[in-house]
Structure 1
Amino acid sequence: MKRSIFMLVAALFAVCFVFTSCKDDNEPATIAKVEYGLTLNVPLDVEGGSLQNATAVFTNVLDKTTYTLSNFKEKDGKYNAVLSIPEGTYNIEVKGSLTYKVNNQSLTSEVRATKSNVAVAKSAVEGIPSSTEIALNTYNTADGLVISEIYFSFSKTPEGKDYSDDQYIKIANNSDTLMYADGLAIVQSQFQTNVKNDYKPNVMPQGMTVEDIFVIPGTGKQYPIKPGEEIVIAFNARNHKEFNANSIDLSKANFQFYSSMFIEGVDANGEETETEKQNNNVPVLKHVYGDPDGRVTPNRNGVKAYALVRIEGDVETFKKNYEYKVKYVEAEDPTNFENEENYLMVPNKWVIDAVNLAVKSDHQWNVVAPSLDAGFTYWAEQMNDASSYRKAVLRKKNGTKWIDTNNSTNDFEAAAKPSYFEY
């Protein structure tokens, strides 16, 4: 009897030992936590910026566990924080807001940045944690809208005359979310890419100097743009085939610039013209800045920059706060006469997308900051190029998305066939 009890106890002990051993073999080792630092750098084109409400989320690539870091402290213009986190590989996403000044006006922009596959491990130096740096970028809530096509080059009538009223521009929603055109501004640069003067002060690192501003009307959510869709803004939303057999039908455009020089069919010389009457079925953009008579015709050679902008606050306050005095000598003036003008700039942080246009053989400089557009595109090889009629610039696509690297040389097909024309 005692022998049986002994054998039973021994068997139970053996079973327990086996199970215990199996459990120990399969149980994962505890991953050591380490101190890891993160440094945030404000955008290079921002002076005196103050970062607020910054939050960094570390996501483990393997198990998707997240760790949040928010106690950033400023030192020597950089923002630093340290967290305790298991060793591993992480994707980091940072969001926050940045307050700074442009033209002595205080601005606040959202900032964000990402960094992928960051290896987090124990530091080799005792007392100094391993770390990584991330450069922040400002962004606009309308990021995702891009200029997808510009056609300003004129067509020809069967009689060989220039026809300019069929110009248009297209704007696309390059995001995955529904966006709204309401309140979006389309601006034309003051400076030309074929004339480089020495402007003082040079505000380009802070803002885009503009000649004209047009704003899309709306109540805020009146004009949706679905992901992957485009809207068309015609210079004059008419069926131009009625007046020029070589032209196009823009009567179903979403909006029109419609310069006031066309009101009641009167041209710039005061002569009545049927072709320039308004299509009352298409909403008209508000011309909030520029020639008070509204006499705006985009240059057919394409020597200016165009941009999409979200103006913060009311337009009148904006115009008051961002007007600046500039002095310059025209590049080819032998007398070196110093001109003095009052210009208006749009803060770069308000710019959603910008495109430098130029004549290929006469390009002297880009008229927006490289952070907005580091290149240029064109439809004319040379000034008044006869082969440039009915030519446009078209943003390239990669699958279902438009290419947007902030470099128009790479992003656009130059001297392309306009999408509205049938050849």
Structure 2
Amino acid sequence: MKKISYLLLLIITAAISCKKEDTISTGIRPVDVTVNLSYGLDSSKYKLPVGGITVKMTNTNSGTVQTATSNDSGRVRFTNVQAGAYDIDAMVTIADTTYYRITGNLIEENITFNASEKNTRVAVGDEIKLNLTLVAGTVGDWVIKQIYYAGSHTTQGALYRDQFIELYNNTDKVLYADSIYIGQLFGRQSLTRNNTHVLPNGQVDWTHSVGMNPNIDANNDYVYTRSILMVPGNGTTYPVQPGSSIIIAQTALNHKTPFTGANGNTISVKDPSLTVDLSGADFEAYYGDFAGSPLASDIDNPEVPNMVVYQYNGRDYILDNPGRDAYIIFKVDASQNVRNWPSYPLPTLAPPPSTADYYIQVPNQYIIDGVEVQPSAAEDRIPKKLNAAFDAGFTFVPKGSYSSQSVIRKTARTVNGRIILKDTNNSTEDFDYLDFANPRGFK
């Protein structure tokens, strides 16, 4: 009996030992993650509530989501977190009446605060502690409603020539589209290329750009564009009714039917159902007057006004098909001349060549709305270009490039027949997708 018990003890000990060694060798021992929340406020005269805020941890590989709620001190604790990469997001909406009672500041509608830390690495070791600062997002009259960046099938569809962006009047009053700027942001496009100075989050560190002003916060107070287009007009030329939108097309044609390209050849699609009719677009981006070698598909539709091109990159207004761009809309006051804004080359480790591209530095203070787009596959995603004040999350089309899919802002509610779109400055929450891009459609 003693021999059997001793043998059983050895087996159990060995099993425990193997399990322990396996945990150590595989490096998957769970750890605890503590998140401390606070507000990024200019005033210390009042305190907004930090308790009861839901924080999400999303495993970027598996998509598994864990949620926890903060205590009255703003602390959230996740236990037994497996090693991996995580997106950590917090969002809280405070009623306008509550905000007024606490701060004395009168606002017209509820205010949303966001905090985000993307691609956080959780590894075996001591407990991980993170500090997240909740910031109030910008709420503008205009919002980016739909972005059709993926394009349609390379041989059956229209490739990328059917791309468009849709802007929406999210108010109950008439707005004028005149002089709205659309910026296509640029930054680090690949994690495998390490030829630039980078920040701890992996994004480009613009402070190292040649000629950069050392007296500004180049990374936090500005964004950098590779294209800027502006809606023409004298200020009251293009009224947009409440709950209506404008479509800015790469080329304002019906891409379902054949047309004659700039080179005289016929351009057509094999499967018209994969693409869109943009002949009714409000504006188009025409590069034929200045690009050295514009694409043959860049046709100027005389019935559709051209956007004013302040900055361009390439042979047409092409949106990044994999989804590695972010997009902003902004307006400036009379003191600003966008053409005179400084531009800088990428902060490469080696001196930039004389042929290097330059990117316009856009002050955050003029941004009305921003949307971060990312590749559909988690392993292809890149560091964010927009901070939480403009977009605490990101959006994407699940089928990726040339899928005919678009990202579209969700409907929040309908008031007297007018659709109000969701706008919490977190596109992970605010956006969905359409299986087939649909100008002026809703989700």
The 1:289–1:145 alpha-carbon spacing in structure 2 relative to 1, beyond 3 Å, is same
Equivalent residue number for residue 179 of structure 2:
183
In the alignment, the residues of structure 2 paired with residue 222 and residue 375 of structure 1 have an alpha-carbon distance, to the nearest angstrom, of 34
Q: Tell me how far 1:318 sits from its aligned partner.
A: 3.5
* 3-state secondary structure, aligned to 2:404: coil
Matched, 1:398 2:412: yes
Mapped partners of 2:399, 2:276: distance in 1 = 24
Residue 280 of structure 1, aligned match among 302, 307, 313:
302
Residue 147 of structure 2 is matched in structure 1 by 150
* Change in CA separation of 1:251 and 1:314 when aligned onto 2, cut-off 3 Å: farther
Counterpart of 2:394 in 1: which secondary structure? coil
More strand by share: 1
* Count of aligned pairs: 283
Are the equivalent residues in 2 in contact too, given 1:261–1:294 (CA < 8 A)? no
Q: Distance in 1 between matches of 2:394 and 2:438?
A: 20
Matches within 5 A, 1:57-72: none
The equivalent of 2:42 in structure 1 is: 42
Deviation at 1:172, TM superposition (A): 0.7
Contact 1:94 1:114 (C-alpha < 8 Å) held by counterparts: no
Amino acid at match of 1:375: G
| Residue 306, structure 1, aligned to residue 340, structure 2 | no
> Contact 1:94 / 1:113 at 8 angstroms: preserved in 2?
no
Q: How does 1:17-416 map to 2 (within 5 A)?
A: 42=42, 94=105, 143-156=140-153, 160=156, 163-192=159-188, 194-195=190-191, 196-201=202-207, 203-243=218-258, 244=269, 245-246=272-273, 247-260=275-288, 267-268=294-295, 273=296, 275-291=297-313, 295-313=316-334, 317-324=337-344, 327-329=347-349, 337=350, 339=352, 342-360=358-376, 361=378, 362-380=380-398, 384=401, 389-400=403-414, 401-414=420-433, 416=435
**Deviation at residue 417 of structure 1 after TM alignment:** 3.3
Tell me, yes or no, if the aligned pair for 1:182 and 1:222 is still in contact at 8 Å.
yes
State the AA in 2 paired with 1:204. N
Q: Secondary structure at the match of 1:299?
A: coil
* Matched AA of 2:386: V
Equivalents in 1 of 2:306, 2:256: separation in Å?
A: 21
Task: Summarize the Cα distance change of 1:150–1:326 in structure 2 as closer, same or farther, 3 Å threshold.
Answer: closer
For normalisation by structure 2, the TM-score amounts to 0.56
Please name the residue that 1:99 is paired with: none
Structure 2 residue identity aligned to 1:358: Q
Residue identity matched to 2:425: N
Amino acid across the alignment from 2:422: I
Per-residue displacement from partner, 1:108-140 (whole Å, max 9, x unpaired)? xxxx68899xxxxxxxxxxxxxxxxxx996968
Shift of 1:297: 1.3
Q: CA deviation at 1:299?
A: 1.3
Give 1:327 deviation, angstroms. 2.4
**Partner-residue secondary structure (3-state), 2:428:** helix
For 2:224, what is the secondary structure of its paired residue? strand
CA gap of 1:259–1:314, structure 2 versus 1, over 3 A, is: farther
One-letter code aligned to 1:312: D
Q: Are the equivalent residues in 1 in contact too, given 2:185–2:227 (CA < 8 A)? A: yes
Q: Separation in 2 of the partners of 1:204 and 1:413?
A: 29
Distance in 2, matches of 1:227 and 1:421, equals 13
Change (3 A) 1:152 1:139: closer
| CA distance 1:199–1:225, change in 2 (3 Å) | same
Letter paired with 2:421: W
- Identify unmatched segments of 5+ residues in structure 1: 1-39, 45-88, 96-111, 117-134, 330-336
Gaps of 5+ in 2: 1-39, 45-99, 112-133, 192-201, 208-216, 259-268, 415-419
Task: Give the residue type in structure 2 aligned to 1:199.
Answer: D
CA positional deviation for 1:214: 0.2
1:328 to 1:113, Cα distance in 2 relative to 1, 3 A? farther
Contact 1:189 1:306 in 2 (8 A): yes
Q: CA RMSD in A?
A: 3.7
The alpha-carbon distance between structure 1 residues 313 and 328, as it changes in their structure 2 partners (threshold 3 A), is farther
Paired with 1:284 and 1:299, the residues of 2 have a C-alpha distance of: 21
3-state SS, counterpart of residue 149 of structure 1: strand
Q: Give 2:347's aligned amino acid.
A: K
Q: TM-score, normalised by structure 1?
A: 0.58
CA distance in 2, matches of 1:115, 1:248: 37
The CA distance in 1 between the partners of 2:434 and 2:351, in whole Å, is 37
Alpha-carbon distance, 1:187 to partner: 0.5
Between the aligned partners of 1:249 and 1:287, the Cα distance in structure 2 is 23
- In our comparison, the structure showing a higher alpha carbon Rg is 1
Measure how far apart 1:320 and its partner are: 3.1
The residue type paired with residue 105 of structure 2 is V
Instruction: Work out whether residues 113 and 137 of structure 1, in 8 Å CA contact, stay in contact via their aligned partners in 2.
Output: no
CA distance in 1, matches of 2:312, 2:43: 31
Q: Decide whether the 8 Å contact of 1:378 with 1:415 is kept in 2.
A: no
